[in-house]
Amino acid sequence: MIKKLSIISIFGILSFSALQAQTTVYAYLKDAQGKPVENAEVDLRDSDNDVTADKIGYFQLVDMKPGHYSITISKPGFEHKIIEFDVYANEKKKDLGSISLAPSLDMADLGVITIDDSDTQDSDNGSTQPTVGLLSSGRDAFANVAAFELGAYWFRPRGVDNRFEDILFNGVSMSKNDDGRVDFSNWGGLNDMTRYPQENVENLTPSEFTFGNLGGVTYYNTRASSYRKGTSLAYSFTNRSYFHRAMATYNSGLNKKGWAYSFSASRRWAEEGVIEGTYQDAYAYFLSVEKRLGERHALNFTAFGSPTYRGSNSPNTQEVYDLAGKNYNSYWGWQDGEKRNSRIR
């Protein structure tokens, strides 16, 4: 009888151990030349189980339960890479193999000055707004050379106007219905929420989310669970079209009940900018709420806006600059002892 109980106990322990067995996922990170990429951050989506690659580019995620997972690999100087994989019940170890990271050229490395969106709306139809493809890093050699030689504001890649670009927020096009152009000021000031698009392709490069367009595609995922958990507070003092900027951002991450929240707000203001007769008072807000219903279903609500009130500055010729200086603005003057701007936006 004792032997029978012992055998039953042993089988019970083995069965319990088998149920508790979990998987270790590992991989090696390498650059385009096959050299190890060290100290890269590996973020496991919807989890705090984030790791950092060691000196040989190796990382591992332990105690992974069966299911579908997504990791984001990031390091300064390299493009972000998203890897999705499945873990099955009978797997003890899962080898993701060698993951190659592509180099990224930042705009600071290219010598391109990013112009504030408020400086790019002097024409009523918005045709002078910069092309977003040149305002982000990429491997397209043509875009990189054009950005370095000509600047992001004065050049249209391959002569393509920005009405041929596709900017999508969760699949919803941001192009205006009347002329097809994109008004970037609609999300001006929301830097924390729009800094890293999920996809950014140049020209006619194939896109995973849409048919694409001549000017390329930029796709933003604003689901609350896609933002990294944390709080960010920032204040900037500049000498541009505004002097002060304050920004606050909070991302809750996905909690145990399947809820996630993201909130961001900012203000940019100046009684008078660096150009005479200009002033600005711009606000921005962003709210995203997500409810995870299961492994494959979720509901998400996103709302954002960027109300702005500012005085414009006039375009000038070289002769005007020589006579009146670089900060001359013909759009302002004195009226009943008050400084007024004739072009308020």
* Residues 119, 28 share a domain: no
* Residues 186, 94 share a domain: no
Task: Indicate if the pLDDT at residue 9 is higher than 80.
Answer: no
Task: Indicate if the pLDDT at residue 249 is higher than 90.
Answer: yes
Task: Indicate if the pLDDT at residue 21 is higher than 80.
Answer: no
Among 221, 236, 252, identify where a domain stops. Answer: 221
Task: Indicate if the pLDDT at residue 151 is higher than 60.
Answer: no
Mean pLDDT, the chain, whole residue set: 78
Better-scored residue on pLDDT, 300 or 295: 300
Tell me which H or E stretch contains 118: none
* Residues 315, 283 share a domain: yes
* Residues 78, 129 share a domain: no
Report yes or no on 11 lying in a domain: no
Report yes or no on 6 lying in a domain: no
Task: Indicate if the pLDDT at residue 135 is higher than 70.
Answer: no
Residue 255's pLDDT is what? 86
Place of tokens 């900060």: 327
In tens, the pLDDT along 301-333 reads: 999 999 998 888 888 889 988 998 888 888 888
Q: What is the DSSP letter of 165?
A: -
- The residue type of 70 is S
Residue 246's pLDDT is what? 94
Instruction: Using a pLDDT cut of 70, give the percent of the chain over it.
Output: 78
Non-local (6+) Cβ contacts of 254 within 8 A are 46, 225, 260, 290, 292
Q: What is the DSSP string of 267-332?
A: EEEESS-SSTT--EEEEEEEEEEEEE-SSS-EEEEEEEE--EEEB------HHHHHHH-TT--TTE
Based on the number of CB atoms within 10 Å of its own CB, is 11 exposed (0-12), middle (13-18) or buried (19 or more)? exposed
In tens, the pLDDT along 163-176 reads: 787 888 988 888 88
pLDDT band (50, 70, 90) for residue 265: very high
Rounded Cα distance, 52 and 177, in Å = 45
* Residues 140, 87 share a domain: no
Task: Determine the average pLDDT of the residues in 75-83.
Answer: 86
* Residues 295, 202 share a domain: no
Report yes or no on 3 lying in a domain: no
Listed residue (70, 84, 88) closest to 21, CA to CA: 88
- Token reading at 280: 């600005």
Among 182, 197, 221, identify where a domain stops. Answer: 221
Q: Domain containing 157: what range?
A: 105-221
Specify the CATH number for the domain of residue 78: 2.60.40.10
User: Per mean pLDDT, which range of 64-73, 199-208, 272-281, 290-299 is the poorest?
Assistant: 199-208
pTM for this one?
0.57
User: Per mean pLDDT, which range of 40-54, 218-232, 249-263, 322-336 is the poorest?
Assistant: 40-54
Residue 225's pLDDT is what? 87
Specify the CATH number for the domain of residue 254: 3.90.1150
* Residues 292, 186 share a domain: no
Report yes or no on 13 lying in a domain: no
* Residues 143, 35 share a domain: no
Report yes or no on 241 lying in a domain: yes
Report yes or no on 128 lying in a domain: yes
* Residues 182, 281 share a domain: no
pLDDT band (50, 70, 90) for residue 48: confident
Report yes or no on 131 lying in a domain: yes
Residue 233's pLDDT is what? 94
Residue 185's pLDDT is what? 83
User: Per mean pLDDT, which range of 37-46, 140-149, 270-279 is the poorest?
Assistant: 140-149
* Residues 172, 232 share a domain: no
Task: Determine the average pLDDT of the residues in 144-160.
Answer: 60
Domain tally, the chain: 3
Task: Indicate if the pLDDT at residue 4 is higher than 80.
Answer: no
Task: Indicate if the pLDDT at residue 239 is higher than 90.
Answer: no
Report yes or no on 244 lying in a domain: yes
Rounded Cα distance, 199 and 48, in Å = 24
pLDDT band (50, 70, 90) for residue 115: very low
Task: Determine the average pLDDT of the residues in 144-166.
Answer: 64
Among 172, 193, 221, identify where a domain stops. Answer: 221
Task: Indicate if the pLDDT at residue 206 is higher than 90.
Answer: no
* Residues 246, 338 share a domain: yes
Task: Say how many CA atoms lie within 13 Å of 314 toward its Cβ.
Answer: 17
* Residues 293, 244 share a domain: yes
Contact 203, 216 (CB under 8 A): yes
